[in-house]
Each structure stands twice: as C-alpha cells, then as structure tokens.
C-alpha cells in the first residue's frame, strides 16, 4: 500500500519524480539504467515507493554491480548454477584462464 505523497515537501516531491523515473528504468532496462542516490532512496522509502529494508538494492553503488553481472551473463562469462562441486570443477577445467 502506497503512502500519500502529500506529506513530502516541494523538494522531496521533485526528488521523488526523478526516483520514480530511475526505478522504472531499472525495472525495464537494467543494463542502461542508473541507480538512485542517497536522497532519492530516502524519499522513495518515505513515499512508500520502495521498502526501507530494500533501499540498498536501488542505490547506484549496488546497481553498478547488477549491471556488471547482467552484462557478464549476456556475454556468457558466468557459468552455473551447478548441481554439485564436481560439475563446477569440471567446468573450471574446461576453461582457458
């Protein structure tokens, strides 16, 4: 359930507009998006747009890692998941590192 934004001041409302845009972009195009800054996370939490305990995930620092992982998966640079340790070891033996 989303909280009313009427309790946000004018500056927070402007910040919320940017946060919404970034969140939508992350949800639709993770690789080409940018995460929220600290103020955007705080306002998005205050407005009920994101859960307080998940604010870290939306932050730009974390999104850099998400973009990197997504790009690596798309390039075939990440393997797995593996059923067991033997399968993982076999995959490592087949690679040229």
pLDDT (tens digit, 9 = 90+) per residue, 60-88?
999 999 999 989 988 888 888 899 999 98
- Quick one: pLDDT band at residue 1, thresholds 50, 70, 90? very low
Identify whether the C-beta of residue 45 lies closer than 8 Å to the C-beta of residue 5: no
pLDDT, position 3: 55
For residues 10 and 29, give the distance between their C-alpha atoms in angstroms, rounded to a whole number: 29
How many angstroms separate the CA atoms of 58 and 66, rounded? 10
Radius of gyration of the chain (CA): 19
3: nearest Cα among 35, 36, 46: 46
pTM score, whole prediction: 0.74
Closest CA to 33 of 5, 68, 80, 9: 68
Burial class (CB in 10 A: 0-12, 13-18, 19+), 42: middle
Q: Residue 58: is its pLDDT beyond 50?
A: yes
Q: How far is CA 13 from the centre of its chain?
A: 22
């Amino acid at each position: 359930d989303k909280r009313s934004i009427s309790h946000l001041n004018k500056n927070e409302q402007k910040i919320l507009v940017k946060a919404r845009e970034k969140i939508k972009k992350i949800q639709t195009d993770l690789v080409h998006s940018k995460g929220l800054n600290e103020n955007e996370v705080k306002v998005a939490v205050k407005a009920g747009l994101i859960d307080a305990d998940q604010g870290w995930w939306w932050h730009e620092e974390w999104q850099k890692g998400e973009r990197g992982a997504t790009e690596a998966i798309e390039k075939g640079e990440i393997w797995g998941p593996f059923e067991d340790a033997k399968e993982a070891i076999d995959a490592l033996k087949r690679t040229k590192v």
